Amino acid sequence: MQKSVLDLDVRKKIFQTVEAFPGSHFREIQRKTNLSTGSLQHHLNFLVRHGVLSEVKENNKVRYFPKFFSSDDKVLLGLLRQRSIRNILLFLLIKNKANHKAIAQFVKLSPSTISWHIKKLEEKGIIERNQNGKKTYYGFVIAKEKLVHLLIMHRESFIDKLVDNVCDMWLE
């Protein structure tokens, strides 16, 4: 009789953690599961090799997802896992479009940091820059409903009051 990949409790625990917090990186999973580095790495590699989880490598981080996630959802959830980027996207959901200064004031980050995050969001095709005379505004390229759907579906995994407020606003 062949054993299931998830028969081991430790693998089941890792899978359930990634399922509850899709887009988490190694250290987040380690904190949530309390597994040693070597053990977690071994079991994550096993789950990826056997097609239960997938990994997305970006810069120096690897994010883990259940296999059934689309590549677009993986990109969005990976970005939403970053608090500053998440706050920028939530602000744009609320305002529909905003200029650099308004985003910086809302997110409470330096203008240069906002520029860096905006550039990343533009490169990923999430937002775009629009000129209106001398003013520059940023708005969504993707359907806002797609972003809202992911936020609502994974709301509890963010543990963020702003996410809760935006989700409540969209659900009303």
**Do 93 and 148 have their domain in common?**
yes
**Coil vs helix vs strand at 61:** strand
Q: Quick check: is 3 in a domain?
A: no
**Do 31 and 82 have their domain in common?**
no
Residues contacting residue 25 through CB under 8 Å, at least 6 positions apart: 61, 62, 63, 64, 81
Give me the number of domains the chain comprises: 2
The pLDDT value given to residue 2: 44
Which tens digits make up the pLDDT trace of 115-144? Answer: 999 999 999 999 999 988 888 999 999 998
Helix (H) or strand (E) holding 154: none
**Do 49 and 123 have their domain in common?**
no
Q: Quick check: is 85 in a domain?
A: yes
**Do 62 and 82 have their domain in common?**
no
Angle between helices 83-95 and 111-123 (to 10 degrees): 80
Tokens representing 121 are 């969001």
**Do 140 and 88 have their domain in common?**
yes
Report the alpha-carbon distance of residue 53 to residue 102 in Å, rounded.
Answer: 39
Residue 166 has pLDDT above 80, yes or no: no
Residue 17 has pLDDT above 80, yes or no: yes
Instruction: Report which of residues 35 and 164 the model is more confident about.
Output: 35
Are 139 and 128 in contact, with CB atoms under 8 Å apart? Answer: yes
Residue 167 has pLDDT above 70, yes or no: no
Say what percent of the chain tops pLDDT 90.
Answer: 61
Domain that holds residue 150: 76-171
- Amino acid letter, 129: R
**Do 93 and 161 have their domain in common?**
yes
**Residues forming beta bridges with residue 55, ordered by sequence position:** 64
**Residues forming beta bridges with residue 66, ordered by sequence position:** 53
Q: Is the full-model pTM beyond 0.75?
A: yes
The pLDDT value given to residue 4: 85
CATH of residue 63's domain is 1.10.10.10
- Amino acid letter, 158: F
| CA angle (114, 116, 118) in 5-degree steps | 65
